[in-house]
Amino acid sequence: MPEGDAVHRTAGRLRGALDGRVLTRSDFRVPRHATADLTGRAVVTTVSRGKHLLTRVEGDLTVHTHLRMDGSWMVTPAGRRTPPGDLVRLVLANERWQAVGLRLGMVDLVRTDEEARLVGHLGPDLLGPDWDPDEAARRLRAESGRTIGEALLDQRNLAGIGTIYRAETLFLRGIWPWRTVGEVEDLEGLVSLAQRIMAANAHHRAPAGTVTTGDRRPANRTWVYGRAGRPCRRCGTRISRGEMGTGPQERLILWCAGCQPR
């Protein structure tokens, strides 16, 4: 599942292809907006908010998309054949480029002044200009009885974290995922660490490989994520894999019972 850094990179690719150019084609393949047509309007810009993408178009319109589990945006020169079947949810094209949204989990078209209805509930965005670790910690602290593992994934507390960053950040701080928020001593330190790792990943071009160890070789990129049953890089204990919380795709948790004791 794409996390905040992947969405942030996607916004950058969409800006490069669409910003300031007039749309020569728009094709919404979702029932709700099947008749929408943005042809003739220039794209202002695309920004990311946590895992959401907002593409602002002339005339105070915003196209809101979310990659959810396995969505993506493919940018190619205009006129290239688009993938077959029902994978395509949205096409935005200008004379030079086409952006093709595949398997998008959400596609909405709203007035730009209504963006808050879609993303106003989000906590501070780890990669946004409004990033505020104290506010993120304050929101977490308000749910002191919840497990830290679940609270970190709740986008209302802070926006951008998914299962990879959750597992890696908790490992690096030595925190058992089922510890309650109230039992975590330094919430500001925890969210600041998550932000630093994500920011470091946001700018390099390896979407398939989140690096939290500092070592970009494919087998060495993470501490616990993707390493169930293998020895911990710090203590040698076999990495545990389990499930926590709700949400069908976001239950996966990996941890080291040696480094993250109860």
Task: Choose among 7, 63, 13, 9: nearest CA to 36.
Answer: 63
Q: Give the nearer residue to Zn ion in terms of CB position, either 65 or 222.
A: 222
Closest residue to Zn ion, based on beta-carbon distance: 232
Cβ atoms < 10 Å from Cβ of 77: 10
Name the one range near Zn ion by CB under 5 A: 13-21, 147-155, 224-232, 247-255: 224-232
Known active-site residue 95? no
38 belongs to the binding site for Zn ion (CB under 5 A): no
Binders of Zn ion among residues 125 to 154 (CB under 5 A) are none
Q: Which of 232, 244, 252, 253 binds Zn ion (CB under 5 A)?
A: 232
Binding of Zn ion by 235 (CB under 5 A): yes
For every residue of 100-139, DSSP letters joined together read EEES-SEEEEEEGGGHHHHHTT---BTTSTT--HHHHHHH
Asked if residue 170 binds Zn ion (CB under 5 A), the reply is no
Q: Which is nearer to Zn ion, 142 or 235 (CB)?
A: 235
H-type alpha helices, the chain: 4-18, 115-119, 133-141, 148-153, 163-172, 187-202
Report, in Å, the least distance between residue 227 CB and Zn ion.
11
Structure tokens at 262: 């109860």
Catalytic one of 2, 124, 133, 177: 2
**Do residues 57 and 19 lie in contact, with contact meaning Cβ atoms separated by under 8 Å?**
no
172 binds Zn ion, rule: CB under 5 A: no
Neighbours of 44 (CB within 10 A): 19
Q: Is 44 among the residues that bind Zn ion (CB under 5 A)?
A: no
Count of residues touching Zn ion (by CB under 5 A): 7
Is residue 259 within the footprint of Zn ion (CB under 5 A)?
A: yes
Burial, 41: exposed, middle or buried (Cβ in 10 Å; 0-12, 13-18, 19+)? middle
3 is catalytic: yes
Q: How far is the CB of 237 from Zn ion (least distance, A)?
A: 5
Q: In angstroms, what is the minimal distance from the CB of 149 to Zn ion?
A: 17
**Active-site residue list:** 2-3, 51, 251
